[in-house]
Amino acid sequence: MSADLLAALRAAVGPAQVLTHDAPGADLSAWEQDWRKRAHGRALAVVRPGSTAEVAAVVRACAATGTAIVPQGGNTGLVVGSVPDDTGTQVLLSLSRLNAVRALDAANLTLTVEAGCVLQNLQDIAEKAGFLFPLSLAAEGSCTIGGNLATNAGGTQVLRYGNARDLCLGLEVVTAQGEVWHGLTGLRKDNTGYDLRDLFIGSEGTLGIITAATLKLYPLPAAQLTAWAAVPTLDAAVALLGLAHQHLGAGLTGFEVMGQFALGLVARHMPQLRVPLWQDSPYCVLLENSDSESEEHARGQFERLLETAFEQGWVSDAVVAESLAQAHGLWHIRESIPLAQAEEGLNIKHDISIPVSSIPAFCAETDALLQREIPGVRLVNFGHLGDGNLHYNVQAPAGADAKKFLNGQETRVNTLVFDAVARYHGSISAEHGVGSLKADHLPHYKDPVALGLMRAIKQALDPQHLMNPGRVLSP
Ligand SMILES: Cc1cc2nc3c(=O)[nH]c(=O)nc-3n(C[C@H](O)[C@H](O)[C@H](O)COP(=O)(O)OP(=O)(O)OC[C@H]3O[C@@H](n4cnc5c(N)ncnc54)[C@H](O)[C@@H]3O)c2cc1C
């Protein structure tokens, strides 16, 4: 059976684009291991189609033989969703060769691109044409727009521009049967029935393969200013966010919070980065003001905002970047937290969302709970406070064996954190998705009616359960 399938795959995409373990010197680990090194599977083959028609032919060949497909973009996902299991029976479908820009429509403010385009390249292409494509995340140099849409990625600009879902007007998708849905509309209004685009966005490859997308563009701001402020408490950070909304309006494009321990990890593992103001304050925040008028206008707004915040006691110290290079430096510190944390050792990651108003109470309660249950545990708390998303990560006590901690405590820590999230009416996955890591948790925390509808949709669109099986919905 697999010999016939491999022959069909080679016929579909060309022999050079079907990689198997039995080829001399073959090393497929780049596709088989996830970014966090939490899982290392074994694929029957890595298949790299170069066009939508080739993707469709691969899907049809797999459907005919009952072979499961795992789609992969940049393989930067954090929930083990883009690597094969260890059975050696699944086809790893890499979208990386589908990387053409199909059209830029300046008057319609849209960019139509293929799924394998790297996010940073799209930001650059938009900027060269005088536009902004605002999706922005620390993995942007490697992640692909197909992966961003499949996970409905968030990032640092969500409070102004929304998630990947909000930035997409149309999709081209290869269905589980190997048909092509041509949905690359650039329309902002189209009420002709169920929204299939929204069904595929965030489905993590479990309903079909995204092969291209039409994305929204925005005018480039005239100025972008960044400020870094030390805040005495999380309550003060939330109050500052409210004030920033009032003062900056739609100009407020970023509001990140970073706990002292998280910043301390950057200072320790990346001493070349000079982390400001972290030593004397439990939290720092990073604010971005994108102004359509001028830098002077943006600076004036920031000054008035910070003046009021100082008067209220919500900010104890602050710096405003003097140049774009300084602003990039501040963002680089924020974006280095996940890497610094990885340097410190394995940890238990949580990507949760809570209503912004409840975040201080949630953190106070859950910090205390974890400290009581696991004395000495270290909390790496940072995230997109502006949209209520925290990366509430839990690191082993200092000096403890990180691997042992992960193996021994992950289930318990997850239960403590997720139960607290549920008490605060939050979500156990804000932006990273469900993948394999959270599939077993979903039945405990998702509304049962919603879960039933999701299973019905899966059954209708992928009755053979061949599209990324075991992800999102556990068997
Ligand atoms: C340092 C770092 C920082 C990060 N920061 C953020 C952040 O701020 N916000 C955020 O949301 N995420 C973040 N992530 C997570 C990750 O970058 C995103 O989930 C990203 O959207 C994944 O894109 P990718 O191309 O790497 O997808 P992959 O990892 O390859 O795949 C992710 C999922 O999408 C599916 N998939 C991929 N391509 C397709 C396709 N064309 N059609 C159908 N299904 C597909 C895969 O099967 C898998 O289930 C971060 C990751 C890292 C390593």
Q: How far away, in angstroms, is 151 Cα from ligand 1 center? A: 6
> Which of the four pLDDT bands, split at 50, 70 and 90, describes residue 414?
very high
Inter-residue contact 403 to 438 (CB < 8 Å): no
Task: Please tell me if the CB atom of residue 155 comes closer than 6 angstroms to any atom of ligand 1.
Answer: yes
Predicted pLDDT of residue 36: 86
Decide the pairing of beta strands 223-231 and 317-320: antiparallel
Q: How many angstroms is it from 432 CA to the middle of ligand 1? A: 7
> Percentage of the chain with pLDDT > 90?
94
Q: Is the CB of 432 under 6 A from ligand 1?
A: yes
Closest CA to ligand 1's atom 16: 77
| CB of 173 closer than 6 angstroms to any ligand 1 atom | no
Is the C-beta atom of 146 inside 6 A of ligand 1?
A: yes
* Interval 159-196: pLDDT, tens: 999 999 999 999 999 999 999 999 999 999 999 999 99
Angle between helices 337-344 and 260-269 (to 10 degrees): 70
User: What is the CA(144)–ligand 1 centre distance, in A?
Assistant: 7
Closest atom of ligand 1 relative to the 36 alpha carbon: 53
Cα 77 to middle of ligand 1, angstroms: 4
> Is the per-residue pLDDT at 352 higher than 80?
yes
What DSSP state is assigned to residue 258? E
pLDDT score, position 260: 97
Query: Is 154's C-beta closer than 6 angstroms to any atom of ligand 1?
Result: yes
- pTM, 2 dp: 0.95
What does the DSSP 8-state code read for residue 349? -
- Which residue, 389, 382, 151, is CA-closest to 262? 382
State if residue 341 touches ligand 1 by the CB under 6 angstroms criterion. Answer: no
DSSP 196-219: HHHHHTTSTTSSEEEEEEEEE-EE
User: 10 Å Cβ neighbour count for 196?
Assistant: 15
Q: Quick check: 25 pLDDT over 90?
A: no
Is 148's C-beta closer than 6 angstroms to any atom of ligand 1? yes
**10-31 mean pLDDT:** 94
Query: Ligand 1 centroid vs 348 CA: distance in angstroms?
Result: 18
Confirm or reject: Cβ of 205 under 6 Å from ligand 1: yes
Confidence of residue 2 (pLDDT cuts 50, 70, 90): confident
Taking the CA of residue 119 as reference, the ligand 1 atom at the shortest distance is 25
CA distances from 247 to 235, 287, 301, 415 (A): 19, 12, 7, 39
- Which residue among 83, 151, 334 is best mutated to probe the pocket of ligand 1, counting the most ligand atoms within 8 A of its Cβ? 151
Q: Is 390 in the pocket of ligand 1 (CB under 6 A)?
A: no
Q: Is the CB–ligand 1 distance for residue 49 below 6 Å?
A: no
CA of residue 49 to ligand 1 center, whole Å: 19
- Calpha distance 21→285 (Å, rounded): 48
Q: Residue 309 Cα, ligand 1 centroid: separation in angstroms?
A: 36
Average pLDDT (433-459) is 96
Maximal C-alpha separation, the chain? 73
Q: How far is the CA of 261 from the centre of ligand 1 (A)?
A: 26
| CA 472–ligand 1 middle distance (angstroms) | 14
The span from the CA of 390 to the CA of 359, in Å, is: 9
The pLDDT of residue 1 is above 80? no
Tell me the per-residue pLDDT of 91-119, one tens digit each, with 9 for 90 and over: 999 999 999 999 999 999 999 999 999 99
Q: What is the mean pLDDT of the chain?
A: 96
pLDDT on residue 24: 83
17 lines ligand 1 (CB under 6 A): no
Q: Which ligand 1 atom sits closest to the C-alpha of 468?
A: 47
